[in-house]
Amino acid sequence: MTYSKGLHILAEIDTAVIEALTDYAAAKLLLQKIIEKHRLTIVSEVFTNFEGGGFTGVYCLTESHISIHTWPAFERVTYDVFLSNFRNNNEAIVRDIYKELVTFFQPTGLNLNELYR
Amino acid sequence: MTYSKGLHILAEIDTAVIEALTDYAAAKLLLQKIIEKHRLTIVSEVFTNFEGGGFTGVYCLTESHISIHTWPAFERVTYDVFLSNFRNNNEAIVRDIYKELVTFFQPTGLNLNELYR
């Protein structure tokens, strides 16, 4: 068995949907649904709203991780979706999660990097 | 105040130091020391050894996150160090953490990506 590189998508989004940046509840609910849909396995989750604005959310998965950091003062969110291909090829799932989050944050600007690692 | 992009270093390392990949204890201790040295603020931490090999470790920081995923069967580790510049310019700290982990994992092969985001 050889190592099959997993897709890691890193996005930076500008958005006017400030309420999506100031509280993690809606983003977490969305991610829960997506994780269930794709039958990914949660190891642990960390979601924290920061006083004064913004939140950090991380789902640690057996398949790797999803992380979100928001900056409402800058109307900005950065997020990563990284799934290994250890048991299955998860590339299409990474792309789906990326797209679901794009739909959620309604970008006015978007920068994207894709790495295989 | 304008948004100052933070440095996100993503590394993939091949290593023969298998004991560093099969249990998170040593890597976690190292990261704790580095986080203290640079006075970063931990929001939460998640470290899990997987049955059959490898671990996932994530430090969620107010400054963003550090994540490590190991694959002992492939003698491989992937890690990310991402610190925002919200209160301070943390670029030098990202580079220091990256280097400390390189020293720890003793690469026989290394691939590196640097993003400002």
Total residues found in chain B within this entry: 117
- Tell me whether A115 touches chain B (CB under 8 Å): yes
- Tell me whether B10 touches chain A (CB under 8 Å): yes
Predicted confidence band of residue A87 (pLDDT cuts 50, 70, 90): confident
ipTM of the complex: 0.91
Q: Which of B2, B9, B44, B59 to mutate to test the interface with A (most CBs of A within 10 A)?
A: B44
| Inter-chain CB proximity A48 and B60 less than 8 Å | yes
Cβ burial A62-82 (10 Å sphere, 16+ → b, else e): bbbbbbbbbbbebbbbbbbbb
What's the mean pLDDT in B27-40? 97
| Inter-chain CB proximity B60 and A64 less than 8 Å | no
DSSP A65-89: EEEEEEEGGGTEEEEEEEE--SSS-
Q: How far apart are CA A18 and CA A96, in angstroms?
A: 23
Nearest-by-CA chain B residue for A66: B67
| Inter-chain CB proximity A65 and B56 less than 8 Å | yes
Q: Is the pLDDT of residue B86 over 90?
A: no
Share of chain A above pLDDT 90, in %: 91
Q: Which pLDDT does position B58 carry in this prediction?
A: 96
For each of the domains in chain B, give its residue range(s) and CATH number, in order of start.
7-116 (3.60.90.10)
What's the mean pLDDT in A22-49? 97
